Amino acid sequence: MSELALRVAHLYPRLMNVYGDRGNIMCLRHRCEARGIGFELAELGPGDTLDPTAHDLIFAGGAQDREQRNVADDLLATKAGALRDAVEAGVVVLAVCGAYQLFGKFYRDSTGVELPGARIFDVHTEHPGPSAKRLIGNIVVEWGGTTIVGFENHGGRTYLGSGTQPLARVRSGHGNNGADGYEGAVYRNAHGTYVHGSLLPKNPAFADHLIGLALRRRYGPDVVLATIDDRAEERAHAAALKLKP
């Protein structure tokens, strides 16, 4: 058991990193290294192919609308098929904000143009038009008997289809669409969410949930994550619970 390692793929680290998404990778690395678990990072950009068997956890973050369009073309051309295979094989995925939208069925932009997605999640996203308000602010959601805290900033509204479960229930903030009280989506071990902040550093329970899923899939159900010093993490989490939306 001493030779555990987490193999992480970061999709489009340069093109999709508007909201401090790098913090999520820093967090995965820290939480592995603090436990003596190896950490291997592969960064995949435009043109790179994805090997569905080479990674335990695949992460992608947020982008601006313009860059998201460029990424969407490349994603469908070089990675979407492998990504679906990986998800069906139980590989853990975390898609935040723009990537969450891209991993759905389609995104209808503010001018009505429909961009096809990677079809990981049975969700679709609609931008209600240039005059509609973006959903911006601090957000707290209820997940797994605890909370996830962070910030959301999205123009698109995401709606769940029947094949996907919500990740969490909104306590304060907007979530998927500001109307149905749901936030994010889960299909098998793939997780999509609008919460950034960065998401993982001050949500250590959720970070460990993802790491645990990934390691147990590869090394078996006996993998146990040792307790590590989370005082700074818990303080930041507790402080965020009290922020105005």
Partner 1 sequence: MNPRTTLAIIAGKAAGAASRRLGRGGGTAIAGVVALRIDPALVRRLAPQAGRGVVAITGTNGKTTTSLMLSHIADDAGARPLHNRSGSNMMRGIAATLAAEASVAGALEDARERLLILEIDEATLPEMARETKPSVVVFTNLFRDQLDRYGEVDTVARAWERALGELQAAPPTIVLNADDPAVAHLGREYAGRVVYYGIDDPGAAGDATEHASDYRTCLVCGGELTYTVTFYGHLGHWRCPSCGSHRPHPDVRAVEIESRGGGDTVAMRIDAPSLSLEVVLPMAGLYNTYNALSAAAAAVALGLPGAAVESALEGFSAAFGRQERFAIDGRDVHVLLGKNPAGLNQVLRTLAAQAGRKRLVFILNDGLADGRDISWIWDTDYELLQPQTDWPLAAGVRAEDMALRMKYAGYGDDVPVVRDVPAALRLALDEAPAGGTLFVIPTYTAMLEAREWLAKRAGQAHFWEEGA
* Residues in touch with partner 1 (CB under 8 A): 14-15, 17-23, 26-27, 30, 45-46, 64-67, 69-70, 134, 136-138, 150-151, 153, 155, 196-198, 201-202, 229, 231-233, 235-236, 238-240, 243
From 27, 32, 97, 191, active-site residue: 97
Structure token digits, residue 50:
């994805």
- Least distance in angstroms from the C-beta of 104 to partner 1: 20
Q: At CA 143, angle to CA 138 and CA 149, rounded to 5?
A: 20
97 as an active site residue: the answer is yes
- Least distance in angstroms from the C-beta of 52 to partner 1: 25
DSSP sequence for 32-89: HHTTT-EEEEEEE-TT----TTS-SEEEE----HHHHHHHHHHIIIIIHHHHHHHHHT
Q: How far apart are CA 23 and CA 18, in angstroms?
A: 11
Q: How far apart are CA 39 and CA 27, in angstroms?
A: 11
- Least distance in angstroms from the C-beta of 93 to partner 1: 20
Strand 123-126 relative to strand 157-160, pairing? antiparallel
- Least distance in angstroms from the C-beta of 113 to partner 1: 15
From 10, 55, 174, 196, active-site residue: 196
Nearer to partner 1, 49 or 64 (CB): 64
Nearer to partner 1, 76 or 223 (CB): 76
27 as an active site residue: the answer is no
Nearer to partner 1, 89 or 132 (CB): 132
C-beta contacts of 174-177 below 8 A and 24+ residues apart: 174/135, 174/137, 174/139, 175/139, 175/141, 176/123, 177/135
- Least distance in angstroms from the C-beta of 90 to partner 1: 29
Structure token digits, residue 211:
């790491």
Nearer to partner 1, 153 or 225 (CB): 153
Nearer to partner 1, 64 or 165 (CB): 64
Strand 57-60 relative to strand 185-187, pairing? unpaired
Give the residue numbers annotated as catalytic, written as ranges: 97, 196
